[in-house]
Amino acid sequence: MKKIVVSVLGQDRPGIVATVSNILYAHGCNIEDISQTILQAEFAAILLVDCPSSCLDNLKADLKQALEPLELSVIVRTAASPPKRGAQPTKPLVVTTSGPDCQGQVARVSEVIKRAGGNISELKAVSHMETDDPRFIMIFEIDFPASLDHAMLRRDLEATCRELGLDYSVQHREIFECINRI
């Protein structure tokens, strides 16, 4: 068995997950993890799959044959190895921002995160344009090095968010999850 990553992109329609998962099943694959979303009308899914090595070429061909007529793109590649145990400890934080939508928000805030040594594990960014006060909300889940300089991160975020007209918060991931469960 070999771990592979299957990415599917294209216009949303009913049955995409069923089509992909049935092809994987027919080739003896096991889906270990899946993340799927719809951005406006665009479907995006990424699957981590345990796949018999002998069927990889046929699997790629069958996925393309089934998905290309539906105007869906598919990429199949070998999965990266998981991080080794004993890797550097991290501190999981959540950074949220909210404010008027303007060009470059994701780039500017993610640059701050990069400078602090953070690795973004999840990002959700959504426009709420239907209200009288349209807002663009971003939620970054980030693994920072345990040695993170919190004061420097907050100063850098404060300066960047002030320039962009954004409110922001930084919370430990567990606190964020508890507060948002209530």
What pLDDT is attached to residue 15? 95
Question: Tokens in use for 152?
Answer: 């420097």
Is 47 in contact with 5 (CB distance < 8 Å)? Answer: yes
pLDDT at 132 over 80: no
What residues does CATH 3.30.70.260 cover in the chain? Answer: 2-78, 90-180
Domain 2-78 annotated CATH 3.50.50.60: no
pLDDT tens for 84-105 read 766 788 999 999 999 998 889 9
Place of tokens 């009913």: 14
pLDDT tens for 48-60 read 999 998 889 999 9
CA distances from 103 to 99, 100, 180, 182 (A): 12, 10, 28, 33
Is 44 in contact with 8 (CB distance < 8 Å)? Answer: yes
Domain 90-180 annotated CATH 3.30.465.10: no
Handedness of CA 110, 178, 99, 157 (dihedral sign): negative
